[in-house]
Amino acid sequence: MELLDPRNDFLFKRIFGSEENRDVLLAFLNRTFTEAGKPPLSDIILLNPYTDKDSPRDKQSILDIRAKTTEGEIINVEMQLFNKYDTEKRTLYYWSKQYSSQLQESQPYNQLKRCVTINIINFALLPNTLYHNVFHLREDRTGIALLDDIEIHFLELPKLDEHAVTMEQGGLVNWLLFLKGVNQSKWEVLTMNEPVLRKAMNTLEFLSQNEEARRQYEARQRYLHDEASMYEAAKVAEAKGRTEGADITRKEIALKLLALGMELTDIADASGLSIDEIKKLNPLQ
């Protein structure tokens, strides 16, 4: 049986973001936080659990995972297969929306809780060899924290070499190797000290044999490939400069990305057009 790729964000949410697999998400989060020197969580509440209404091609579907701790802190986990331009800025933008959306009108600022973003990315982003980077808001010289409300993790799968790690010890590495697609012959070693990881593996095996799950997975794969192709075309257009021909290409790219249901800000990043220019291409936006 050929296994589906758990890096597909639709499939990732089914494995880690469903109510029946909340313990899988909790175990993964605790391994992530433990490696970063943070205390483990006792429990989490899923804010947007996977449901059958989540469609692989529906732009209204939220395929990241949002959870809340017992202390009210917000955690967002997102799987990204390719670099959608300005990943760092995009991360800060969505973190800020998550942070600010906690307050209702007239509520005091002290009600704001810490927000954590965890980006699992299938490409190398940062100029170092670390597969796990964690960012906070710190004073440059002394390292004093301004406050601990912002925490951003980048887990870069390409930087993880299965031959250079010890699987027998368990930990975050084993979860990431599973996501990266390590050979099934090594699954027993991966789960030796990570028993909950076995549940994630069982879920992947079940979904890989389920006809409807495969249909939805393949629909999402086609969508992601189309999206990636548009981004590559945008890079080519950008390299050519803002000539008349390049402007036409940008408009074509923007129209195709609109058809894929992407956010206007992402289309603007990919095409080089302004949001106003994109709206003129599609008055319904």
Q: Each residue of 170-228: pLDDT tens digit? A: 999 999 999 999 999 999 999 999 999 999 999 999 999 999 999 999 999 988 888 88
- pLDDT over 90, % of the chain: 63
Put residue 37 in one of left, alpha, beta given phi > 0 → left and psi -120 to 50 → alpha.
Answer: left
Cα separation, 25 vs 46, whole angstroms: 9
* End-of-domain residue from the set 209, 234, 268: 209
Question: Is the residue at 2 inside a domain?
Answer: no
Dist. CA 188–CA 192, nearest whole Å: 6
Residues 220 and 194 in one domain: no
- Asked whether residue 142 falls in the same domain as residue 230, the answer is no
Residue numbers of the domain that contains 135:
9-209
**234 and 123, same domain (yes or no):** no
Say how far apart CA 201 and CA 49 lie, in whole Å. Answer: 19
> Do 198 and 217 sit in the same domain of this protein?
no
**pLDDT, position 53:** 67
Confidence of residue 158 (pLDDT cuts 50, 70, 90): very high
Q: Are 180 and 219 contained in the same domain?
A: no
Report yes or no on 4 lying in a domain: no
Cα 137 to Cα 45, 113, 173, distances in angstroms: 26, 15, 26
Do 52 and 134 fall within a single domain?
yes
Q: What is the SS3 string spanning 44-112?
A: EEECCCCCCCCCCCCCCCCCCEEEEECCCCEEEEEEECCCCCCHHHHHHHHHHHHHHCCCCCCCCHHHC
pLDDT band at 8 (very low <50, low <70, confident <90, very high): very high
Instruction: Please state the rounded mean pLDDT for residues 235-254.
Output: 65
Boundary-marking domain end, from 194, 209, 224: 209
* Claim to verify: residue 41 and residue 122 sit in the same structural domain: yes
DSSP state of 37: T
Same domain, 47 and 184: yes
Are 203 and 266 contained in the same domain? Answer: no
Q: Is-contact 6 12, C-beta < 8 A?
A: yes
Question: What mean pLDDT is predicted for residues 120-125?
Answer: 95
Q: Which of 209, 228, 245 is the last residue of a domain?
A: 209
Strand 132-138 and strand 115-121: the pairing is unpaired
Is there a single domain that holds both residue 130 and residue 108?
yes
Position 3 in a domain: no
CA–CA separation, 271 and 280 (whole Å) = 14
pLDDT at 65: 96
How many domains are contained in the chain? 2
Q: What gap in Å lies between CA 157 and CA 121, rounded to an integer?
A: 6
Of all residues in the chain, the percent with pLDDT exceeding 70 is 90
